[in-house]
């Protein structure tokens, strides 16, 4: 197997190794440093064989839009390409499906389209305008759009995999498992991939994104446990894969492990779990389609096996 970050220069690997252990002390600074390393790689990454069509509306709000990444060589045969829906992060307050200066998160869906999947990159409403469970409801809206329109783009509307990063992982977990969300996945949704997700809700002093938590989940901290994805992990009926970085935002790695344990305890068998050495919270999403495929291949194996 290839070593993680083999695609980086020695200097860049040293930079990433230096900021890793102190990631949580200055997350925005370290995020910007990570972006500066990966943006040129994303810009130079292969994009052949992928057609991108932007800004389909799946709801009335300006942010309820999605982009479609159509593969030139789809897998799936006559039934159409299986679909990957990606949900970006942003601490519930910010984020977009595409940041032109950095090339994210086009890189994620481009990589999946190059593997033969129909990629869907969604944007969603943000807090405080859209509090809990608005993000999860938007995921449901995007899934409804896919079931109605995937076939028009060469996709199979009965084969949908949902991947979320950071707050996006929170939203897809809430959509799938939280009883507070009325619309639940149908049989067309085949599984969830949770990358660096906030799976327990807290506004602890250790949490640099506590402001976003309060804006989305409310000021009443007595509700946080009830609204935490880990609380409803035992209700998860879908195949699920959890991925964390070695250097996460404070406590997110612990919460990922907690979600893993709760699912495993409920099912009496362990779901797929990946801890990415040398990676931080940001590089977990930025490294797709830049030459390192360790996490991507793990996800494809999960898609194939359902475990």
Of residues 4, 9, 87, 69, the one with CA closest to residue 278: 4
**Is residue 81 pLDDT above 80, yes or no?**
yes
pLDDT digits (tens, 9 = 90+) for 137-161: 999 999 999 999 999 999 999 999 9
Show the tokens assigned to 133: 């469970």
Report residue 3's pLDDT band, with 50, 70 and 90 as the boundaries. confident
Domain boundaries, the chain: 10-305
Q: Pick from 119, 123, 122, 121: which is nearest to 83 by CA?
A: 119
Distance CA 244, CA 23 (A): 14
Find out whether 120 and 146 touch, Cβ atoms under 8 Å.
yes
- What pLDDT is stored for residue 1 in this prediction? 52
Task: Give the N- to C-terminal CA distance of the chain in Å, as an integer.
Answer: 20
What's the pLDDT score for residue 78?
Answer: 87
Q: Residue 249 is inside which H or E element, if any?
A: none
- What's the confidence (pLDDT) of residue 117? 98
Q: What percent of the chain has pLDDT over 90?
A: 97
pTM of the model: 0.97
Average pLDDT, the chain: 97
Summarize pLDDT for 156-210 with one digit per residue, the tens. 999 999 999 999 999 999 999 999 999 999 999 999 999 999 999 999 999 999 9
Residues ≥6 apart with Cβ < 8 Å to 72:
48, 49, 50, 51
Question: Residues 17-44: pLDDT tens digits?
Answer: 999 999 999 999 999 999 999 999 999 9
pLDDT attached to residue 233: 98
Provide the percentage of residues in the chain whose pLDDT is more than 70.
99
What CATH code would you report for 10-305? Answer: 3.40.50.1820
pLDDT exceeds 60 at position 95: yes
| pLDDT band (50, 70, 90) for residue 236 | very high
Alpha carbon distance 208, 66 (integer Å): 29
pLDDT at 68 over 90: yes
Q: Are strands 155-165 and 240-247 parallel, antiparallel or unpaired?
A: unpaired
């Amino acid at each position: 197997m290839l070593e993680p970050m083999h695609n980086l220069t020695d200097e860049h690997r040293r930079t990433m190794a230096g900021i890793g252990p102190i990631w949580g002390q200055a997350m925005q600074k370290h995020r910007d440093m990570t972006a500066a390393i990966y943006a040129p790689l994303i810009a130079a990454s292969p994009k052949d064989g992928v057609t991108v069509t932007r800004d389909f509306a799946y709801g009335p709000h300006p942010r309820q839009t999605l982009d479609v990444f159509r593969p030139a060589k789809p897998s799936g045969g006559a039934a159409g390409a299986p679909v990957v829906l990606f949900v970006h992060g942003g601490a519930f307050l910010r984020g977009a499906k595409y940041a032109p200066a950095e090339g994210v998160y086009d890189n994620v869906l481009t990589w999946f389209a190059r593997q033969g999947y129909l990629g869907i990159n969604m944007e969603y409403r943000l807090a405080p305008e859209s509090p809990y469970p608005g993000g999860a409801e938007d995921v449901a809206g995007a899934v409804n759009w896919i079931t109605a329109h995937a076939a028009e783009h060469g996709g199979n509307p009965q084969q949908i995999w949902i991947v979320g990063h950071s707050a996006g992982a929170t939203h897809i977990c809430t959509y799938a498992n939280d009883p507070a969300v009325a619309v639940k996945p149908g049989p067309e949704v085949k599984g969830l991939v949770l990358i660096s997700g906030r799976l327990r809700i807290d506004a602890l002093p250790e949490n640099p994104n506590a402001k976003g938590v309060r804006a989305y989940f409310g000021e009443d901290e007595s509700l946080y446990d009830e609204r935490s994805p880990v609380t409803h992990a035992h209700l998860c009926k879908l195949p699920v894969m959890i991925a964390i970085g070695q250097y996460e935002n404070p406590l997110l790695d612990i919460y990922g492990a907690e979600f893993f344990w709760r699912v495993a305890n409920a099912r009496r068998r362990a779901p797929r779990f990946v801890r990415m050495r040398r990676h931080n919270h940001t590089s977990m999403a930025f490294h797709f389609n830049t030459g390192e495929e360790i996490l991507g291949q793990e996800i494809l194996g999960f898609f194939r096996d359902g475990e």
